[in-house]
Amino acid sequence: MDSSGISAPKRGEIVRQIGEALRAKLQLLGRLVSLEMGKILPEGIGEVQEVIDMCDYAVGLSRQLNGSIIPSERPNHMMMEVWNPLGVVGVITAFNFPCAVLGWNACIALVCGNCVVWKGAPTTPLITIAMTEIVAGVLKKNDLPGAIFTAFCGGAEIGQAIACDTRIPLVSFTGSTKVGIAVQQKVYERFGKCLLELSGNNAIIVMDDADIQLAVRSVLFAAVGTAGQRCTTCRRLLLHERIYQTVLDQLVEVYKQVKIGDPLEKGTLLGPLHTPASKENFVKGIEVIKAQGGKILTGGSVIESVGNFVQPTIVEISPSAQVVKEELFGPVLYVMKFQTLKEAIEINNSVRQGLSSSIFTRRPEVIFKWIGPHGSDCGIVNVNIPTNGAEIGGAFGGEKATGGGREAGSDSWKQYMRRATCTINYGSELPLAQGINFG
Amino acid sequence: MDSSGISAPKRGEIVRQIGEALRAKLQLLGRLVSLEMGKILPEGIGEVQEVIDMCDYAVGLSRQLNGSIIPSERPNHMMMEVWNPLGVVGVITAFNFPCAVLGWNACIALVCGNCVVWKGAPTTPLITIAMTEIVAGVLKKNDLPGAIFTAFCGGAEIGQAIACDTRIPLVSFTGSTKVGIAVQQKVYERFGKCLLELSGNNAIIVMDDADIQLAVRSVLFAAVGTAGQRCTTCRRLLLHERIYQTVLDQLVEVYKQVKIGDPLEKGTLLGPLHTPASKENFVKGIEVIKAQGGKILTGGSVIESVGNFVQPTIVEISPSAQVVKEELFGPVLYVMKFQTLKEAIEINNSVRQGLSSSIFTRRPEVIFKWIGPHGSDCGIVNVNIPTNGAEIGGAFGGEKATGGGREAGSDSWKQYMRRATCTINYGSELPLAQGINFG
Amino acid sequence: MDSSGISAPKRGEIVRQIGEALRAKLQLLGRLVSLEMGKILPEGIGEVQEVIDMCDYAVGLSRQLNGSIIPSERPNHMMMEVWNPLGVVGVITAFNFPCAVLGWNACIALVCGNCVVWKGAPTTPLITIAMTEIVAGVLKKNDLPGAIFTAFCGGAEIGQAIACDTRIPLVSFTGSTKVGIAVQQKVYERFGKCLLELSGNNAIIVMDDADIQLAVRSVLFAAVGTAGQRCTTCRRLLLHERIYQTVLDQLVEVYKQVKIGDPLEKGTLLGPLHTPASKENFVKGIEVIKAQGGKILTGGSVIESVGNFVQPTIVEISPSAQVVKEELFGPVLYVMKFQTLKEAIEINNSVRQGLSSSIFTRRPEVIFKWIGPHGSDCGIVNVNIPTNGAEIGGAFGGEKATGGGREAGSDSWKQYMRRATCTINYGSELPLAQGINFG
Amino acid sequence: MDSSGISAPKRGEIVRQIGEALRAKLQLLGRLVSLEMGKILPEGIGEVQEVIDMCDYAVGLSRQLNGSIIPSERPNHMMMEVWNPLGVVGVITAFNFPCAVLGWNACIALVCGNCVVWKGAPTTPLITIAMTEIVAGVLKKNDLPGAIFTAFCGGAEIGQAIACDTRIPLVSFTGSTKVGIAVQQKVYERFGKCLLELSGNNAIIVMDDADIQLAVRSVLFAAVGTAGQRCTTCRRLLLHERIYQTVLDQLVEVYKQVKIGDPLEKGTLLGPLHTPASKENFVKGIEVIKAQGGKILTGGSVIESVGNFVQPTIVEISPSAQVVKEELFGPVLYVMKFQTLKEAIEINNSVRQGLSSSIFTRRPEVIFKWIGPHGSDCGIVNVNIPTNGAEIGGAFGGEKATGGGREAGSDSWKQYMRRATCTINYGSELPLAQGINFG
């Protein structure tokens, strides 16, 4: 079963209809995401909107999955780069983006001519089922086999099965570096391909010439948004010594005003963590932080109530503390001081992860240094915006322990296809490359 | 030490000079390749020419390592895809192309702004030293540090060291699948990147409408060239039942006329195998072939003389024999019969390796089926030319157990660089993607 | 008034809504096209569908109007190619595609950030008004000024005004070569840009190995479809002498079965010509044909009835007859005999126009010759399909007297934008290109 | 006679050899340019270097003149965009760049598979002959017909002949807007193509936050370099009122120190104008300037000596003076004052010409506004560098009365080729685009 027999523009038309079906239920799905995952409603709706955007984008892409015709050095030869579907793409997603990550992968995988086998997070079965129902409805309406898009609600054993199945040439995995590496090993053993979106440990650098207000608002969104459970959440804040105290004071002030509560309620900025385990993890994290010399400037405690609520937390800590090198999946922000751009970039690049990063400055020489060969070593390199909130037109993903995969825009679609360098001799002679004469 | 401080076009100028220096010594270097590796002189010269071609190509590329400017959905934001050098690229090459594979990698790696650390094959130290001397001379003439290009003559311990060194973000490895997988595991453990060019097991399909003469000449070059020690060597010949006997008869006839001898001598088509171990491997292979039901149609023996000479060999065997699934690195060709295109493609795709493949036909419907989604699953998909003899303008490499890397042309250069999706906010507002409203 | 203040992806969203609004009225609009222009209903609906396809395509494009970042030879310099909107695009369309041509232009022009000023044909005001109403409705719903899309029903004086107006940097004109050249001159006088889609005179070549049935069906669609009033209509049929009589016999037979009548009626293949003037033009054309030695094989007369009906006509004539060099806008097909491919290509290329062309053959060497440097000199070069019926993913347009413009897919969008090569020096030095030392 | 029978990479090899031949004579050719044209030696050598750079660039390009394979909506159809040579390219160049402009055109035209017919300026025959000899030598060495590259020394009658010759599908013309428009008209009459590089009238804007020293040095190079006879010469200097007097004082000071004299002599910054007519034109220009209210701040006179020497001149004048709208081909700089960025951009865009432009600032919001939809309307848009001194990797050319052509890098090569949208049906059915059902 594959969708490669249907032409790419027709596959695009199917994806367009999926987008339409989602658009018709945007508010409901947004609420469901919010309800099941715990992020606030505008973020829930934004996540569904992102899937819709991906559908629209993929429709256009379905007429632009272009190969190349490359000049051949041999007369009467045509050299081409041709892109063909892989067959089946396995997509393993995480709880924090229960549908957007599926959207990034499935929209592209489908227009590229693949079938999709999706494993959602075990804790977000409702959104998995809802999305699958919607896709299934569109397939049915177009008299296409439902097997083009299959979903599973389940745990590690399903992931394991996908990783080991030789019928699935590509496994796209989003989750922790630890699990991702294990998946990768399984897939490579059977000579499959991986697309990995693993842990981040993202820093925001605020230079002394920065627009402080812009920076503070951005840090708040980047560190507290989705309760710190985005892979692009800002976890490290590097402040130039000259504006260190100013920014910190404003930030602590703003943190105290963050409205915590029901994510579906208007005005709430911080909902609960996703599970009791997440809450427990937060508690343990705070203990480690303290043990390693971290100073809690605000927050640091769980909130005694129904639900996995914790306080948004700011920690003053040394860049060399071990805990700073790891991803603590919650609203905990480490603040550090630096003196020079060079030092800030070194701290930014000193962790294993390489997903997102951001600087606040208005100096062109700093901006271009930051995005250049001696700047941030991350896959996402921002200026005057938060570490999170990517647009679909660009390629999303990170370097180093973040896994190296790229999803959504740019030429990410190439990962979902098989590249063939084809040379057709339509003449009757056999000239050889590099002018070789044989026999 | 890196070369990223020099602008890309200036790096191109250095590579141009390397090309000029090689061009001045083309004949001498070609002879050295032939002498040390054992391939015939036209192939030795052709290999050096390929490095020169790569240099010329890379010069042009040095002004075309283009990033993108992508329309942002947010006002006063500029979104870009920026490509930066990785730093240091480790290149591990094999004996069979002692300089071309270095050329593919180093030319691109250098214009991309990287330094190169090269480990040549332990059995081809002279060509490693000669190439290094030439590059070193150019660097010196331009007052550039020699560390931009470093080479090692040595064995597995050097390869191991490169694989494990965190200062080398990318390791490009050419060699067997077995060793390649081991290298890959080491590199991934430290979150590095790999570019793998591993074993091939390449088939030529001859359809009933094929130009027989063209096919026979191509099979000869593909199976006997470089004494069957190319990764793109044709190892499996699939003949349509209607032309099976005709092609086979002609081929056996041609094989008998192959001039075996000193590779430096004019007219020689088949030189020795590279080492005594290769010869021994050939002998063992023939035994296994016989044990698995293979019928030797011509050749099958070593030649008693000084040097590791063996006979070019044709074997009639079933596609299901186990030995057919593995790469036997010598001039041994397995011949099989098929009835339909579908069957031929299935046999072609039935091995773990996915490097090169070729079909001989004049029917457009067969050609386009062959290069399409239900055709060959290899990285190189040819029509009416041999499996070997790639041009540098296309991307070279294979799928499945061949490792998935791509070298030389097309957008292969991207593998030698780090991609960053950059968004610059040059306004004073903070609009969020997907229209999210936060706080 | 321009739409460049709205981000490209948001402009894409507007175009998406236009597509949705058209989709909701596909059948009705298709009928209107059929009713007002005279083409048969499936063609009328197909034309509207093409506009919808263009909308979907343009949505994806709105995130892919990519500029480039090009490596600079100067340190601390960033070189970019940036694309900006032109401002206002004038679109002048013809009666034969009263909405598709508008769609090609407007969808792209709008996502590129331009406003559109449209002049439809004087004889198709209803479809002009209907399309405009639909676009206006979408703009209004999005609180956007209606001036983003303005339409005129009128004649040459409106076209003249558009051609001369310096506020309209680009004029896209579809129509006859004669009028197009006049428009071009006016626009160039004021240093504006033109995108011209002018007359065609398209040939189909049938080789001796062709699939005759496929060829005959294709010629019928290409020569009789839209009553021969497409710019891509096949006007010249070049038959290899070996299949000349066979094809001709079948074609004459098929022509006699063409159902002529009400274009809205099911089964009709040939509706009326667009105007009484078209009919008169047909009559005059037949006279000239006869005077120049043309032999009417079938058809050749008007049909006495209400409406501008004429017979589908096949004429045997010499390639050197003068009338063959001109576009006669009706269902008249000139048939000629040739002996060699070379001769056929020469005849194909011997006219001033260079829009579309097609060959029927199954020989790869013929196919690749035909699409190569010594093949067809047209902008559209087909194999085994008619001259008409283009897909939107490719670039549509022709060479020579056809005007050289390209619409719809590929990089046609670049014509609707202004290209700027930008170099930003973010350092404090002033190095010069080419290593020049000044002062 | 055309070069399309030679494969593109082989054409690249020819161009590489031309580059080598030029490199061997760089100093001599540079001196010849300086001697015959009058520009200072570093500029003469720089100009020849630019041709060499173009050769190197074109070699790489010869393997990258890529077409596309575009997904077809029809099953068993392959859609492609194929690029073929035009045949013969006519190149008409001007005295001010007697070899660089030829280099831009010929290098690309040749690798694209065209022959070149070159008409150099009537006043620079020596460099025309020298370049032609070098190219001819390379062609001969490669046993290629000399007709691949033909040159003429002559005047308007040759240009006229090229413009009218139907065997020359593309005419690339560099010169004044007046002559360019006349050429264009002739070429379009015969349905040929034009690539125009016409007059410039380029402004530098200096903002109040600019690095004054960088700006002053840049203006000097841009306004006095090549004695103001570059098409990219800065002719208008727009100074923010806050730094107006400071910049002006420094500039007048620097102008007084400009060493005028023999262009071959070390240290000379300003050589003679090209001809007595140029000198006369300067004198007349100064008169008109004075008549229109211009105030000469420095210079303004011819220098009484052998040779056509004139003083570098700064004029304070109103942006509305008519003389400011025209290109005066000499070292005359008009200075104007502005208050806001908006006003400066309006003045920049208020002339008919649209070649080059530059701003000096360190504010990102100004930089991005300047290169955006509401910024400069020129083809070259610089920041913190002069208006002149383009790199070959970008596309060179301008908008409006500058003619709209683009030369050198980016996708400029497409102008030297013919684009064909090809669709191959390799199946046996005839599905139609847009799902149309016909007959």
- Whole-angstrom distance, CA of residue A273 vs CA of residue A253: 22
Whether the CA torsion B274, B277, B278, B279 is positive or negative: it is: positive
Query: What is the C-alpha R_g of chain C?
Result: 24
- Whole-angstrom distance, CA of residue D12 vs CA of residue A147: 50
Tokens read off for A344: 């800030």
* pLDDT surpasses 70 at B1: no
Give the per-residue pLDDT at A1: 41
Give the per-residue pLDDT at C4: 56
Q: Which of A49, A188, A400 sits opposite B434 (nearest CB)?
A: A49
Give the per-residue pLDDT at D1: 40
SS3 content of chain D, % helix, strand, coil (to 5): 40, 20, 40
Evaluate whether B365 touches D427 at the Cβ level (below 8 Å): yes
Give the per-residue pLDDT at D305: 87
Give the per-residue pLDDT at C439: 62
Determine the distance from the C-alpha atom of residue B80 to the mean position of all C-alpha atoms in its chain, rounded to a whole number.
Answer: 32
Sequence-separated (6 or more) residues with CB below 8 Å from residue B300: B286, B311, B313, B315
How many beta carbons lie within 10 A of that of residue B245, not counting itself?
A: 11
Confidence band (pLDDT; 50, 70, 90) for D5? confident
* pLDDT surpasses 50 at C1: no
Q: State the DSSP string of B153-218.
A: ---HHHHHHHHH-TT-SEEEEES-HHHHHHHHHHHHHTT-EEEEE----EEEEE-TTS-HHHHHHH
Q: Min CA distance, D317 vs chain A (Å)? A: 33
The average pLDDT across B27-32 equals 98
Q: Which residue has the tokens 């892409």?
A: A61
Give the per-residue pLDDT at A4: 56
Q: Do A63 and C393 touch (CB under 8 A)?
A: yes
Report yes or no: B168 at the A interface, CB cutoff 8 Å: no
Angle B80-A198-A38 from CA coordinates, rounded to 5°:
95
Evaluate whether A78 touches C367 at the Cβ level (below 8 Å): no
Nearest CA in chain D to C184: D188
Predicted confidence (pLDDT) per residue in B273-302, tens digit: 999 999 999 999 999 999 999 999 999 999
- Whole-angstrom distance, CA of residue C47 vs CA of residue C124: 14
Q: Which residue has the tokens 């508010």?
A: A27
Q: HEC states along B252-309?
A: HHHHHHCCECCCCCCCCCECCCCCHHHHHHHHHHHHHHHHCCCEEEECCCECCCCCCC
* pLDDT surpasses 70 at D436: no
Report yes or no: B367 at the D interface, CB cutoff 8 Å: yes
The phi and psi torsions of B310 (rounded to 5 degrees) equal: -135, 160
- Mean pLDDT across chain D, nearest whole number? 95
Question: Which residue in A43, A50, A197, A327 is the catalytic one?
Answer: A197
Chain B contact partners (≥3 CB pairs within 8 A): A, C, D
- Whole-angstrom distance, CA of residue A176 vs CA of residue A355: 12
B239: nearest Cα among B343, B349, B376, B369: B343
- Helix ranges restricted to H, A142-211: 156-164, 177-189
Give the per-residue pLDDT at B420: 98
Q: Classify burial at B304, counting beta carbons within 10 Å of its beta carbon; exposed 0-12, middle 13-18, buried 19 or more.
A: exposed
Predicted confidence (pLDDT) per residue in D335-368, tens digit: 999 999 999 999 999 999 999 999 999 999 999 9
Query: What is the C-alpha R_g of chain D?
Result: 24
Global ipTM: 0.95
Q: Which residue has the tokens 């009537």?
A: D122
Q: Do C63 and B75 touch (CB under 8 A)?
A: no
Tokens read off for B252: 């056996």
Confidence band (pLDDT; 50, 70, 90) for D432? confident
- Whole-angstrom distance, CA of residue D421 vs CA of residue C383: 11
**b/e per residue D86-120 (b: at least 16 CB within 10 A):** bbbbbbbbbbbbbbbbbbbbbbbbbbbbbbbbbbb
What CA–CA distances, in Å, run from B143 to B8, B14, B21, B179, C175?
17, 11, 16, 38, 63
Q: Bridge partners of A315?
A: A296, A334
Tokens read off for C310: 């004429």
How many beta carbons lie within 10 A of that of residue A301, not counting itself?
A: 12
Q: Do B65 and C71 touch (CB under 8 A)?
A: yes
What CA–CA distances, in Å, run from C189 to A403, C185, D174, D187, D415?
57, 6, 18, 15, 22
Predicted confidence (pLDDT) per residue in D117-132, tens digit: 999 999 999 999 999 9
Report yes or no: D11 at the B interface, CB cutoff 8 Å: no
- Whole-angstrom distance, CA of residue C144 vs CA of residue C14: 10
Question: Which residue in C36, C43, C47, C197 is the catalytic one?
Answer: C197
Tokens read off for B424: 């610059």
How is residue C372 annotated by DSSP?
A: S
Tokens read off for B289: 């072939």
Report yes or no: D364 at the B interface, CB cutoff 8 Å: yes
Q: Min CA distance, A41 vs chain C (Å)? A: 22
Q: Do C383 and D68 touch (CB under 8 A)?
A: no
Q: Do B82 and A384 touch (CB under 8 A)?
A: no
Identify each DSSP E strand in A198-312 by its residue range.
202-206, 234-240, 295-298
- What are the residue ranges in chain A where pLDDT is below 50? 1
Evaluate whether C60 touches A57 at the Cβ level (below 8 Å): yes
C87: nearest Cα among C3, C163, C31, C7: C3
Evaluate whether A395 touches A407 at the Cβ level (below 8 Å): yes
Tokens read off for B236: 């499996």
A387: nearest Cα among A333, A322, A319: A333
- Whole-angstrom distance, CA of residue C381 vs CA of residue C375: 9
Give the per-residue pLDDT at D3: 54
- Whole-angstrom distance, CA of residue A16 vs CA of residue A28: 19
Q: Classify burial at A212, counting beta carbons within 10 Å of its beta carbon; exposed 0-12, middle 13-18, buried 19 or more.
A: middle
D421: nearest Cα among D44, D84, D82, D112: D82
How is residue A406 annotated by DSSP?
A: -
Tokens read off for B373: 């989604």
Contacting D residues, span 46-65, partner chain A, CB-CB under 8 Å:
62-65
Alpha-carbon dihedral B388, B394, B395, B399, rounded to 10 degrees: -50
Q: Min CA distance, A173 vs chain B (Å)? A: 16
Contacts of A58 in chain C (CB under 8 A): 60
Collapsing DSSP to helix, strand or coil, C97 comes out as coil
Run of H or E including D235: strand D234-240
Q: Which of B81, B410, B438 sits opposite A221 (nearest CB)?
A: B438
- Whole-angstrom distance, CA of residue C199 vs CA of residue C328: 10
The phi and psi torsions of C109 (rounded to 5 degrees) equal: -55, -40
Please name the amino acid found at residue B309.
Answer: F
Q: Which residue has the tokens 């670049």?
A: C414
- Whole-angstrom distance, CA of residue A376 vs CA of residue A372: 8
